[in-house]
Amino acid sequence: MKPIEPPFAPPPAAKRSRFPSVTTQIFIGLLVGIAVGYVWPSFGVSIKPLADTFLRMIKMIIAPLLFSTLVVGIAGTGDLKAMGRIGLKALIYFEVATTIALFLGLGLVNWFQPGTGLSVPIGAGAADVAVLAARQQSAWDILVHLFPTSVFDAMARGDILQLVVFSIFFGIALAAIGEKGKPVVEFFDAVAQLMFKFTGYVMLFAPIGVMAAIAATVGGRGLAILWTLGKLILLMYGGLAIFAVIVIGGVSYLIRVPFFAFLRAIREPFLIAFTTASSEAALPKALEVMERFGCPKNIVGLVLPTGYSFNLDGTTLYLSLASVFVAQLAGVEMTVGQQLVMMLTLMLTSKGVAGVPRAALVVLTATLTSFNLPLEGAAILLGIDQIMDMGRTAVNVMGNCISTAVVARWEGVFDDGKMKAFAEERA
């Protein structure tokens, strides 16, 4: 089958308007939400349904957008060997990046010792932790979970990994039937363009959704909790900043992608992920901006969604910090060997749980159980999980966006012209 032309692409940028950009509106919504949550906490909590509405609007477009882009990306190229090669390169990069994140977190938590001498009572929240621990999946559970019993069920539940697996098989089968499948590919190409337009309409509601989400967080948790476990929070955000600047910045230098141009390109999905603590909320916009940034549609459609389960850079850094933090809190001395085994456990158990609610805490409770550490330590972290989740989710999205550029450059198909044009537009 010949490659389909033209590729699905979001509509050209609109003309300059007198209104602030979407990024500016989202940032204003963030500041307003913090102020509302702090000054009127009860009102901040009461408007949380606005945030939930925005997240539901995002979720309703993910399945058709992801399915159509991935099918066109695979079937439209007509080169199944290339898709296998792209998938393998993506997995190699994912493993390297998450390993660096784990060891960065391990180094920071041992150097600064945030849990040592902290007067936080252990004993509360055991029931909540027990519920989390029950959600942990075994390796066989993860394998079985990859394959949906029904694609419609996977779409209804918003299970990204199952949808990716089904889309890959569908795209391969579509490419295998040759010219007979061309009308179907063209249909899904039109659907993809339609969904990008649809995404633009949904994003108009983003500032309100962001404002409500952050207002509910500040109003419900209060700023006081930041002081109680402030050392851990500061250490995690410091670690995320180091990872973003040193690792992601270093990777962007190696692949000849200007780091600040990359940051400008992804600022909208980054802010959405940070304020909503939801990677799913940022996915439609991330798919759009990375294609406009110069990555081919087949790479964006395959690498970016797959990274949501296998390239959780921010989450893995947090897990290495949190697991050793709990040991320090309980006064348990862990040898270097024990910590390395724990890191290996985290590397394995953190894969494929992106669709599980509070996935990081699910993995953390399972790891604590394996190493006989008190589960009450995870219960303490429940209080600040929303605040921690905002940072690690934003870095997850950043790491997945750069991974598409890495694979595109590795394949020799990164479009520098599109990157420069998009960077000038965002300047």
pLDDT tens-place values along the chain, 427 residues long: 544 444 444 444 444 456 677 667 877 887 888 888 888 888 988 988 888 888 788 778 878 887 887 788 777 665 667 777 888 899 899 989 999 999 999 999 999 888 776 544 444 444 444 444 444 555 576 677 778 888 888 888 767 668 878 888 888 888 888 888 888 888 988 888 888 788 778 878 888 888 888 788 778 766 665 565 678 889 999 999 999 999 999 999 999 999 999 999 999 999 988 988 878 788 889 998 999 999 998 899 888 888 877 788 998 899 899 888 888 877 788 888 888 888 877 776 666 555 444 567 667 776 777 677 777 677 667 667 778 888 999 999 999 999 999 999 999 999 999 999 988 887 7
Cβ neighbours of residue 111 closer than 8 Å, sequence gap 6 or more: none
Q: 63 and 158 in contact (C-beta within 8 Å)?
A: yes
Cα angle value 57/62/67 (rounded, 5°): 155
Taking the chain, what is the end-to-end CA distance rounded to the nearest angstrom? 39
Q: How far is CA 359 from CA 7, 110, 121, 349, 352, in A?
A: 35, 24, 24, 10, 9
The model's pTM is 0.72
Q: 260 and 424 in contact (C-beta within 8 Å)?
A: no
Q: 299 and 341 in contact (C-beta within 8 Å)?
A: no
On the CB side of 86, how many CA atoms lie within 13 Å of its CA?
30
Task: Please name the residue ranges forming H helices in 371-413.
Answer: 376-382, 385-411
